[in-house]
Structure 1
């Protein structure tokens, strides 16, 4: 096994924060949260969402960093270092393997969306996107998604980029590339935001996004807010643990977690406002499927200078999220096999590329192969988003809140500088034991269809 001491650390805590933000800002910030705000009461939904981020997202995110920092281990190794003397330690260690397995499956599915993003960024810059009508944009997207030969080229490019980044290690690959991606994402988002603020539709869009409408906030909206708060921070994929393992022992985990949470929220709200401006007055409508980005945006931004910038932003976000998801997989292969970083990255990249190719072909020649109405891409998304992710997050919460020795957590907490006071620890640990765990139970139940089952069984009588 590779010695942990040979592995590098982040060059500074701010650079870790930049890389972590780039990893957790995903396409759901660009598409899913804006759609949820418009569907579930705008500002009313936002209040529940922010409350979930503070009561569930912040404690769990900072807790994962607290466990991981200074270990220089993969996800199962981090959990093993904390559970050697705990009851059922093997069960907890296996939860780390499940988290990495979920990250691998999610990356395989995400690679398909990333292929679409890369292709559309080039088409946006070249001005070849058909935005004449919703029907034309939809037909263009369907034709591209089913073109397996062309998609295969984009898949190779995508995995080539993330493999080349990861193979160079933390200091020479992941850290500088994530900083560069974050910079260009900021530039693109700033340009789009300025144009949205100067647009005559900005006032109406601001009302649509932020004005609270509690009558439109149903129980489904509340559960969607909890679900979105969990996934926007990548809490169940092992990414936080993998990146956090490179932090020095004394890194201020709560301050860093709060910084990541605030910027992630700001990006999400900026995207919601921006899309509300661009979509307003056009026939394009965002819906719950990620494909709506590729069908609605060409119409909403037809013949405008914002279109290429928007699709370049989507491509940058896809790459940064993928690099984050790839890291726990590479860590696991390297430390469990003893291979070099380069060899481990190549093996992980080839394996995931093959799985991603199968998911890509599920829209083409493998399209007839379905199970219960879902193709391979659909099953990969279901397995990660509705089972593995929420379950892993809940297990980590129970581990930190109920299983690990309180004294050891206090000792680790005291390395966080100004957050070492007893009151701060009591609040953090109390949140993990009660509201965070309860919220995660709701997230898991909702992801697995609990609310739909209740609605189906409990029908109002007339």
Structure 2
């Protein structure tokens, strides 16, 4: 085992905030939320989404940081430190392993999308994308996705980048790289938003993003808002627990959580507005599938000077999210094996790269190999996004809200002096016990298809 004193710590709270924002801002902010806003009543969906962030996202996010700060342990180790004297402690510890497994499986699937993103970044900069029509852009993407030989090169480059980052540790690798990526993403997004504000289509686009249409929301829109609020913060992947474990034990977790949630929401809204300007007036439309990002943007941005910047932004976001997902896996391997950081990173990276290659082949030579209609990539996404993620988040919520001793949580809460008032803790704990848990049950049920079953029964 690595000695406690040798384990790393963030150099400052602002750098933790920057790295965490870079990790949680994903392609979902660039693609899925703008699509949901356009499909479910814009401002009406946004109101439900913000309510979900405050009632479910904030308590669970800050709770994970509260448990993890000062421990410098891996995800199962953090949970073990809190559950040693509780009933069924092994069950709770295994939920930590489940979270890291989910992060690993999601990264293996995400590596395929990230490889596409890196390739499209270069093609966008060099003007190699066919934006003549949606059909042409779709055909180009399908041809590229099925070219396993070329895809392997991009996937290996992607893993080489995240392995090189993680191998240097927290202070010399993850922290400076995430800070650099966050700065580059900020510059790219700021340039795009400013150019969108100066565009003649800015007024209609602003109305399309923020005007509330409650008639278009519906029950499905409500559930999608809850689901998006959960996944936009990586709450079921162990990333927050892992990053939080490197914080000092007196860190004000609620204040940092509010800051991260606010910036994440602002980035999402900026992306939605920018895409409404550039995509809204084109023949292309965003769709629910991730492939629409690679089929829609070349058409919507054809001939625009903003096109290279958008595709570079897509590549940067892919890298930063992947580094965040990779860290809990490396941390677990290192602390459970006693290997050096370099050796742990190589072992974890090679294992995930092999799984990512298999997922990539499911679009190439293995595209006809399916089980119940899903290829390997589909099963990885299904298992993580629709089962492991929501289940892990629910288990952590139950642990903090129902299992752990209230007195111990109060002591941890008061360790940072600004939270000495009992009212703040009572509100936070009440949110975990009731609204957050109820929302997470709904998220899990929706992810498992409960709403589709209800619609089949009541609306045959």
Q: Is the structural similarity TM-score above 0.5? A: yes
Deviation at 1:416, TM superposition (A): 2.5
Counterparts of 1:177-256 in structure 2, within 5 Å, are 177-256=177-256
* Map of 1:123 onto structure 2: 123
The SS at the match of 2:371 is: coil
For the 8 Å contact 1:283–1:300, the answer to whether it is kept is yes
For the 8 Å contact 1:5–1:72, the answer to whether it is kept is no
Deviation at 1:449, TM superposition (A): 0.2
> Do structure 1's residue 306 and structure 2's residue 306 form an aligned pair?
yes
* Map of 1:90 onto structure 2: 90
CA distance in 1, matches of 2:52, 2:74: 28
CA distance in 2, matches of 1:198, 1:331: 45
* Map of 1:114 onto structure 2: 114
**1:55-78 deviation line (CA, Å, top 9, x unaligned):** 000000000000000000000000
* Map of 1:346 onto structure 2: 346
Deviation at 1:169, TM superposition (A): 0.2
Deviation at 1:196, TM superposition (A): 0.6
* Map of 2:65 onto structure 1: 65
For the 8 Å contact 1:99–1:388, the answer to whether it is kept is yes
CA distance in 2, matches of 1:98, 1:4: 24
**1:79-115 deviation line (CA, Å, top 9, x unaligned):** 0000000000000000000000000000000000000
The SS at the match of 1:212 is: coil
CA distance in 2, matches of 1:257, 1:322: 21
Deviation at 1:458, TM superposition (A): 1.3
**1:105-142 deviation line (CA, Å, top 9, x unaligned):** 00000000000000000001111111011111111100
CA distance in 2, matches of 1:17, 1:251: 12
Cα root mean square deviation, aligned:
0.6
Deviation at 1:187, TM superposition (A): 0.3
CA distance in 2, matches of 1:135, 1:113: 20
* Map of 1:167 onto structure 2: 167
**1:126-164 deviation line (CA, Å, top 9, x unaligned):** 111110111111111000000000000001100000000
Counterparts of 1:3-18 in structure 2, within 5 Å, are 3-18=3-18
**1:400-427 deviation line (CA, Å, top 9, x unaligned):** 0000011110110012231231110000
For the 8 Å contact 1:42–1:209, the answer to whether it is kept is yes
CA distance in 2, matches of 1:391, 1:366: 30
CA distance in 1, matches of 2:452, 2:278: 33
Deviation at 1:322, TM superposition (A): 0.2
> Do structure 1's residue 45 and structure 2's residue 45 form an aligned pair?
yes
CA distance in 1, matches of 2:366, 2:435: 44
Deviation at 1:459, TM superposition (A): 2.0
CA distance in 1, matches of 2:44, 2:56: 18
CA distance in 1, matches of 2:353, 2:65: 29
CA distance in 2, matches of 1:354, 1:50: 38
CA distance in 1, matches of 2:305, 2:415: 49
CA distance in 2, matches of 1:289, 1:35: 10
The SS at the match of 1:411 is: helix
For the 8 Å contact 1:251–1:416, the answer to whether it is kept is yes
**1:200-259 deviation line (CA, Å, top 9, x unaligned):** 000000110000001111000000000000000000000000000000001110011000
Counterparts of 1:413-432 in structure 2, within 5 Å, are 413-432=413-432
TM-score, structure 2 as length reference: 0.99
* Map of 1:333 onto structure 2: 333
* Map of 2:451 onto structure 1: 451
CA distance in 2, matches of 1:135, 1:217: 30
CA distance in 2, matches of 1:54, 1:19: 21
* Map of 1:104 onto structure 2: 104
CA distance in 1, matches of 2:443, 2:23: 22
CA distance in 2, matches of 1:246, 1:366: 41
- Mean Cα deviation higher: 87-96 or 127-136: 127-136
CA distance in 2, matches of 1:416, 1:36: 38
Task: List structure 1 runs of 4+ shifted beyond 3 angstroms.
Answer: none
CA distance in 2, matches of 1:320, 1:280: 27
* Map of 2:287 onto structure 1: 287
- Mean Cα deviation higher: 309-318 or 413-422: 413-422
The SS at the match of 1:31 is: helix
**1:370-427 deviation line (CA, Å, top 9, x unaligned):** 0111100000000000000000000000000000011110110012231231110000
> Do structure 1's residue 273 and structure 2's residue 273 form an aligned pair?
yes
* Map of 1:322 onto structure 2: 322
* Map of 1:31 onto structure 2: 31
CA distance in 2, matches of 1:124, 1:84: 53
**1:333-378 deviation line (CA, Å, top 9, x unaligned):** 0011000000000000000000000000000011110011110000
CA distance in 2, matches of 1:45, 1:252: 31
Deviation at 1:5, TM superposition (A): 1.9
* Map of 1:153 onto structure 2: 153
